[in-house]
Amino acid sequence: MLDKAQVYQLVRNRIWILQYRKSKFNQPVLLTLIGNKELSDEIFFCIIFHENGRLEVPTTVGFVPAEYGSWDFDEKTQEILFISKDGQFQTVASLPESLPYGDKLVAMQIKTPLPNDARIRMFVNDPHLDHFAITKRSVENHQTYFIPRENFEYSLFGKLRWLGFNVKIIDHGEKLLNFFNEIYEYLIRHPQIEDIVISSNNVSETIFTAERTLAFRKEHNQAAFDYLSGKRTAIIEFLVMVLSENNLRLFNDNVQHDDVTMLQNLLTTKFEDRYKLIDIPNFN
């Protein structure tokens, strides 16, 4: 039997994200609330437990549901209690339990039903998001999604985690070739990564083609280099050729073409019949 102090040790220093699922689906879906549109169009509701019973909401949601005013623990029933702001209502949740999918995910299932709502609600903890320390995430997963820091939004992280992808944020991704160079260095340091998506925008598409084939977003019937995906062997080969070609260009004053022209030439000469163009709606 646990007491409140022991339960706090289980839930402390973690971010718990409110999610839901319908009984016929296996994986939960992010529950988003209206937030500050200057920061994000999708704001997920999450909480941090404090020892004194306070609940902290670290995201910029437009409102905090009244039922989450504070928390307590019922030692007799071994259940977590969320107490409404006016102290008149309690929402009951289970102790944290491991989920059968994802990477080290645990959840507290909310037992108190909502009227006319058959969805299963839960607070899910993903250890990669604790303290918002994204850069300290585990890389045990073999699937990784790369995105520049300036374009990253937390809603994307939640969507990709249910697809089994780690998210690696690149700090210097403003320039395309710098972005590629940092990704290459990261992949060399982490040989276990096999499935790779590289995107400059917050899209949760993870489209793959054949083993040695790259996939690029199609724009005007040409490859756009703001989204590509592929297996490790193909991605590494492409990045090595790109960086090598760029180094040669830097030392040749007679070569004046821009980055995109160089990449297009590289595709047609080195990767002919080894890449596909894919449509990604609402990319920009």
Q: Domain map of the chain by residue range? A: 2-127, 141-276
Tell me: pLDDT of 173 over 70. no
Distance CA 31, CA 16 (A): 12
Quickly name the fold that domain 141-276 has.
Spore Coat Polysaccharide Biosynthesis Protein SpsA; Chain A (3.90.550)
Region 113-138: mean pLDDT is 66
For 172, phi and psi rounded to 5 degrees?
A: -115, 65
Instruction: Report pLDDT for 175.
Output: 86
Work out the pLDDT band at 255, boundaries 50, 70, 90: low
30-34, 125-129, 275-279: which has the highest mean pLDDT? 275-279
Tell me: pLDDT of 81 over 70. yes
Instruction: Report pLDDT for 239.
Output: 96
Indicate the average pLDDT of the chain.
82
pLDDT in tens, 187-226: 998 888 999 999 999 888 888 877 778 999 999 999 999 9
User: Which residue, among 70, 55, 75, has the nearest Cα to 12 in the 3D structure?
Assistant: 55
Name, in order, each residue with C-beta under 8 angstroms of 115's C-beta and a sequence gap of 6 or more: none
Work out the pLDDT band at 2, boundaries 50, 70, 90: very high
CATH number of 2-127: 2.40.128
Instruction: Report pLDDT for 53.
Output: 95
Tell me: pLDDT of 117 over 60. yes
Please state, in angstroms and as integers, the Cα–Cα distance from residue 228 to each residue in 12, 25, 127, 130, 145, following that order.
38, 29, 27, 29, 10
CA 177 to chain centre: 23
Instruction: Report pLDDT for 42.
Output: 47
Please state, in angstroms and as integers, the Cα–Cα distance from residue 114 to each residue in 27, 64, 94, following that order.
20, 16, 16
